[in-house]
Amino acid sequence: MAREAAILLGPDDPAPFAIDNAEGRSPFLLVGDHAGAAIPAALGDLGLKSADRARHITVDIGVREFGRELARLLDAPFIHQTYSRLVIDCNRDPGHEDAIVIQSDGTSITGNGALDDAARQARIAAIHTPYHAAISAMLDARQAAGTETILLSLHSFTPKLDGFIRPWHVGVLHWLGRTDCAMAMVAQLQGDRTICVGDNAPYRMDATDYTAPFHAFPRNLRYAEIEIRQDLISDHGGQVHWAGKIQKAATSAWR
pLDDT tens for 178-203 read 999 999 999 999 999 999 999 999 99
- Average pLDDT, rounded, for the chain: 95
Q: Average of pLDDT values for 113-128?
A: 95
Q: What's the CA gap between 227 and 84, in Å, rounded? A: 18
Q: What is the 3-state secondary structure (H, E, C) of 42-97?
A: HHCCCCCCCCHHHCCCCCCCCHHHHHHHHHHHHCCCEEEECECCCCCCCCCCCCCH
Domain containing residue 57: CATH number: 3.40.630.40
H/E segment holding residue 20: strand 17-20
How does residue 161 score in pLDDT terms, banded at 50, 70 and 90? confident
Residue 92 has pLDDT above 70, yes or no: yes
Expressed as residue numbers, the domain containing 80 is 2-254
pLDDT of residue 87: 98
Residue 1 has pLDDT above 50, yes or no: no
pTM of the entire structure?
0.96
CB 67 within 8 A of CB 59: no
Whether the bond into 213 is cis, omega within 30 of 0: no
pLDDT tens for 202-213 read 999 999 999 999
Compute CA 101 distance to the chain's CA centroid, rounded to the nearest angstrom.
17
Q: What's the CA gap between 22 and 77, in Å, rounded? A: 5
pLDDT of residue 6: 54
How does residue 3 score in pLDDT terms, banded at 50, 70 and 90? low
Compute CA 217 distance to the chain's CA centroid, rounded to the nearest angstrom.
17
Residue 250 has pLDDT above 70, yes or no: yes
Domain count, the chain: 1
Q: What's the CA gap between 127 and 11, in Å, rounded? A: 14
Residue 243 has pLDDT above 60, yes or no: yes
Q: What's the CA gap between 244 and 68, in Å, rounded? A: 12
What per-residue string of b and e applies to 1-38 under the rule 16 or more CB within 10 Å gives b? eeebbebbbeeebeebbbbbbeebebbbbbbbbbbbbb
Q: What's the CA gap between 212 and 232, in Å, rounded? A: 24
CA angle, 62 then 65 then 71, to 5°: 125
How does residue 114 score in pLDDT terms, banded at 50, 70 and 90? confident
pLDDT tens for 31-70 read 999 999 999 999 999 999 999 889 999 999 999 999 999 9
